[in-house]
Amino acid sequence: MNILVIEDEKKVASFIRRGLEEDGYAVAVSHDGSDGLKKALDGAFSLIILDLMLPKKDGLTVVRELREAGHRVPVLMLTAKDATDDIVSGLDAGSDDYLTKPFAFAELTARVRALLRRGEQDRGAEVHFADLRLDPVTHKVWRAGREIELTSKEYGLLEYMMRNPNKVLSRSMIAEHVWDYSFDSFTNIIDVYINYLRKKIDKDQAVRLIHTVRGQGYVLKEG
């Protein structure tokens, strides 16, 4: 597995590189956003670890331009900011997960393994529910034949719900399966993304599919 680390703090980058190489990964490093984006576009990486605050190009710009170029490599964003709006901005730009500095290396490697595992499983037959259709290979979603544009996390959340229809999914279950970890402060992020999905999936539809079960969580069902 080849991993690209884009981090301007050289001590942090070196720390991450040494630890990942000890775990058997091949690691390339870049110290600014412009060079990092070039390496990401030119190389065949299984994962990118990307700092938010970078010289030349910030992390949000890097991941946004990477996605616009059609690259779907998993991106783990590192950030010193832990406010909901900052986290959502990173996820909306196209990152798959985030980790707040300072962090324990064991937590970083857990996120790395989860993202790599998810990438390997990110293929297979189309998933259908009601008039929804999801293609796990292209990450495209349609409702009643109309394609719906989703961000990476919106897609991940919808895929989890479509693979578990008519089942109440608690916030902790969603955090564990879509973000691969669970803690109380993260529930607000889940609520934000449920609202995003509702606006895209159920807007102007006679039949709503995403429902809240008060005190328990959310469920994908007809009616």
For residue range 36-51, list pLDDT tens digits in order. 999 999 878 889 999 9
| Domain boundary, last residue among 121, 155, 184 | 121
Q: pTM value?
A: 0.63
Q: Is the pLDDT at 177 greater than 90, yes or no?
A: no
Whole-Å CA distances, 96 to 90, 130, 214: 9, 27, 28
CB 48 within 8 A of CB 90: no
- CATH number, domain of 178, equals 1.10.10.10
Based on the fold, state whether residues 148 and 195 are members of the same structural domain: yes
CB 90 within 8 A of CB 59: yes
Torsion angle in degrees (nearest 10) through CA of 100, 3, 16, 60? -30
- Residue 158 is predicted with a pLDDT of 95
Total count of domains within the chain: 2
Q: What is the number of helices (H) and of strands (E) in the chain?
A: 8, 11
Choose among 101, 99, 30: nearest CA to 66: 30
In the predicted model, what is the mean pLDDT of residues 103-114? 89
CB 1 within 8 A of CB 26: yes
Q: CA angle at residue 64 from 123 to 197, to 5 degrees?
A: 60
Cα(26)–Cα(184) distance, integer angstroms: 34
| 58 vs 80: which has the higher pLDDT | 58
| Least confident stretch, 71-75, 93-97, 150-154, 178-182 | 178-182
Tokens read off for 88: 């959502």
Based on the fold, state whether residues 178 and 102 are members of the same structural domain: no
At what angle are helices 187-201 and 171-178 packed, to 10 degrees?
90
Query: Using CA of residue 162, residue 110, residue 11, residue 87, what is the dihedral sign?
Result: positive
- CATH number, domain of 67, equals 3.40.50.2300
Tokens read off for 182: 């669970």
Domain with 54, as residue range(s), is: 2-121
Q: Is the pLDDT at 122 greater than 60, yes or no?
A: no
Based on the fold, state whether residues 115 and 133 are members of the same structural domain: no
Averaged confidence pLDDT in the chain: 87
CB 40 within 8 A of CB 71: yes
Cα(87)–Cα(189) distance, integer angstroms: 8
